[in-house]
Amino acid sequence: MTDPPTPRSLDVAAPLAIAINLSAGGAPRSGVDGGSVALGGLRPHPHAATSRPPRQPPHQRHAADSASDTRPPAAGEAGLARRLARVLQPPAALLRAALEPLAWPAPLFDYQVTGINALLSRDALLLADDMGLGKTIQAIAALRILVREHRAESALLVVPASLVSQWRRELRHWAPELTVSTVRGPATDRSWQWNTPAHVHLTSYETLRSDYTENPRSPPRRRVWDVLILDEAQKLKNRDTEVSRKCKQLRRRRAWVLTGTPLENGLDDLASLLEAVVPLADGETPPRLGAGPALLERHRSLQLRRRKADVLPQLPPKTVTRIVLPLEGPQRESYERAERDGVVHLRETGAAVRIENVLELIIRLKQICNFCPMTGRSVKLDDLRERLSTLEAEGHRALVFSQFTDGKYGARAIETELRASRPLLYTGDLTPAERDARIRVFKEQPEHKVLVLSLRAGGQGLNLQDASYVFHFDRWWNPAVERQAEDRTHRLGQTVPVHVYAYTVEGTIEERIDALLREKQMLFDDLVDDVSIVLKERLSADELFGLFGLTPPASARSS
């Protein structure tokens, strides 16, 4: 019997086969192909086949760098190494645990682990948790595990433009080893950003709309994404919009759709949303869903929704208070004059009057409810200033939302008038970099007591637990949108009770519309102030004209 010769050391860069033949006969002989594989450096990269070398985190790269042999691996051994790296990973249950090895930067709640498991176990899921429960974290964690288990190599993450930077931060925080290519900016930049090898391509709905073209080689459509994640997916509720159509046409093996408000207006919205919650193979066309029992059944089967009160009983309570203020002095006079003149104008227009004329008047009156056009005074601002002085003395900070952004009736005017509180302004006309800077400054510099936000720009996705008071300077007529804005602060990480104050001026259009909507329990489209045609579908011509005691002409009824 002969002892086997000592095998040579083998790493990925060395030849795979090592011959250790012993003498034939009855003696055992060691195998012909023993080897050793350094696994730390062998995480297969999704774009290993490209000419660009894959990037790896330092802790992974170190193991590969430490190999003594620097020759490139042969194709066969690299393939074996990849397969080994896959089968030798820790079991999924261990990866999902709050302990190591993935070293989550913060403990995952049980309900979040449940959500992660749901995302991992299904090809398509509508994750519709209440706002603030960490849908972002769950999606990132699930994606991280999928990549770790080598079940996914490429993900497309589409989010509102205002949230791109926040998603980048969250990805860096919760999945530091994932490479991210953020696609935004000029077309020349986007071209290489799409082509950059990465685990995640992160872009906005607007950019996707631009870059998904009829050309089948256009970057977003030339590949089948392992995971498609659509954040704040209520943007897809209108199936006729270009971005909605394009998102649904993206080929994907998994579709994760995130929204806290899957049902804003009606079943058509829901149907449109669910059309995106399905894998789409090459050559397939997106489904077209109609209202009916089948839709509701599909909804039940695809949706995972948890409410804060159920899963986070420890979250501090949120108290909503309606503040009804009287309109006085010049502001009252300005309001009454505008309404009187507006009604006269509507009457004078006669049969040619259109619903849009009524909507324009509503907006005009709402603006005057904010600030007097003659004096710049504001009953709301007086009240707000007084409350803020008390809150600031107690060390609290506040968010103030307005649907208007301008310097006469909206967010800019509020910011100017509250300068004693060193307010910061966050509106949609800021560049993404400016928006990030404002949020960062607000979080890091507590001397800024107030953040004034336009509802449309600041109402989604931001994490602003640093403030515990929210003021709605004017009313947005969609409660779901208002709740979204409030939940910027009433979310995970909030440690003190959240107080929400909503201003309404009595005896004005604000109060009348509020009463009308309460009575009918209807939801306005969130584009009400764009005089969206949807508004006409929400309120009848009789109801809209009735706000001013008018009877609509036949032409308005039919329009």
Q: How far apart are CA 239 and CA 237, in angstroms?
A: 6
Closest distance between other proteins and the C-beta of residue 170, in Å?
Answer: 12
Q: Of 173 and 340, which has the nearer Cβ to other proteins? A: 173
Contact flag: residue 7 with other proteins (CB under 8 A): yes
Contact flag: residue 113 with other proteins (CB under 8 A): no
**Single residue of 52, 71, 98, 100 touching other proteins by CB under 8 A:** 100
Closest distance between other proteins and the C-beta of residue 491, in Å?
Answer: 24
Which listed range, 96-104, 293-301, 408-416, 524-532, lies at the site for other proteins (CB under 8 A)? 96-104
Q: How far apart are CA 440 and CA 412, in angstroms?
A: 19
Contact flag: residue 8 with other proteins (CB under 8 A): yes
**Single residue of 44, 48, 54, 55 touching other proteins by CB under 8 A:** 55
Closest distance between other proteins and the C-beta of residue 275, in Å?
Answer: 32
As given in the structure block, the two tokens for residue 557 are 């009824």
User: Sheet holding 469-472: strands in order across?
Assistant: 318-325, 498-505, 469-472, 398-402, 450-454, 424-426
Which listed range, 50-58, 115-123, 258-266, 358-366, lies at the site for other proteins (CB under 8 A)? 50-58
Contact flag: residue 555 with other proteins (CB under 8 A): no
Q: How far apart are CA 415 and CA 442, in angstroms?
A: 14
Backbone angles phi, psi at 304, to 5 degrees: -120, 115
Which listed range, 55-63, 256-264, 269-277, 296-304, lies at the site for other proteins (CB under 8 A)? 55-63
Angle at 338 between CA 336 and CA 344, to 5 degrees: 100
Counting every residue, how long is the chain? 559
Q: How far apart are CA 444 and CA 121, in angstroms?
A: 39
Q: How far apart are CA 38 and CA 67, in angstroms?
A: 8
User: Which residue pairs, CB below 8 angstroms and at least 24 apart, start in 485-489?
Assistant: 485/399, 485/401, 485/453, 485/455, 485/458, 485/459, 486/318, 486/320, 487/130, 487/131, 487/132, 487/260, 488/399, 488/458, 488/459, 488/462, 488/463, 488/464, 489/399, 489/464, 489/465
Q: Of 30 and 357, which has the nearer Cβ to other proteins? A: 30
Contact flag: residue 84 with other proteins (CB under 8 A): yes
Q: Of 43 and 483, which has the nearer Cβ to other proteins? A: 43
Q: Of 157 and 365, which has the nearer Cβ to other proteins? A: 157
Closest distance between other proteins and the C-beta of residue 429, in Å?
Answer: 26
By rule CB under 8 A, what string of x and - marks binding of each residue 321-360 to other proteins?
Answer: ----------------------------------------
Q: Of 98 and 515, which has the nearer Cβ to other proteins? A: 98
Angle at 270 between CA 291 and CA 146, to 5 degrees: 125
Contact flag: residue 39 with other proteins (CB under 8 A): yes
Contact flag: residue 195 with other proteins (CB under 8 A): no
Which listed range, 1-9, 138-146, 220-228, 394-402, lies at the site for other proteins (CB under 8 A)? 1-9
**Single residue of 23, 49, 51, 58 touching other proteins by CB under 8 A:** 58
Helices 432-444 and 164-174 pack at an angle, to 10 degrees, of 60
Q: Of 2 and 349, which has the nearer Cβ to other proteins? A: 2
For residue 123, the SS3 value is coil
> Whose structure tokens read 């009789």?
542
Q: Of 7 and 330, which has the nearer Cβ to other proteins? A: 7
Identify the sign of the CA torsion 420, 421, 422, 427: negative
Q: Of 20 and 437, which has the nearer Cβ to other proteins? A: 20
Contact flag: residue 89 with other proteins (CB under 8 A): yes
Closest distance between other proteins and the C-beta of residue 306, in Å?
Answer: 27
Contact flag: residue 4 with other proteins (CB under 8 A): yes
> Whose structure tokens read 């004034």?
452
Cis peptide before 107 (omega within 30 of 0): no
Closest distance between other proteins and the C-beta of residue 228, in Å?
Answer: 21
By rule CB under 8 A, what string of x and - marks binding of each residue 163-192 to other proteins?
Answer: -----x---x---xxxxxxx----------
Closest distance between other proteins and the C-beta of residue 332, in Å?
Answer: 54
Contact flag: residue 10 with other proteins (CB under 8 A): yes
Closest distance between other proteins and the C-beta of residue 40, in Å?
Answer: 6
165 exposed, middle or buried (CB, 10 Å; 0-12, 13-18, 19+)? buried
User: Which residue pairs, CB below 8 angstroms and at least 24 apart, start in 382-387?
Assistant: 383/323, 383/325, 383/503, 384/414, 384/418, 384/471, 384/473, 384/503, 385/417, 385/418, 387/471, 387/501
Residues at the contact surface with other proteins, assessed by CB under 8 A: 3-4, 6-11, 20, 24-26, 28-31, 33-40, 55, 57-59, 63, 68, 80, 83-85, 87-91, 94, 97, 99-101, 103, 168, 172, 176-182, 196, 198
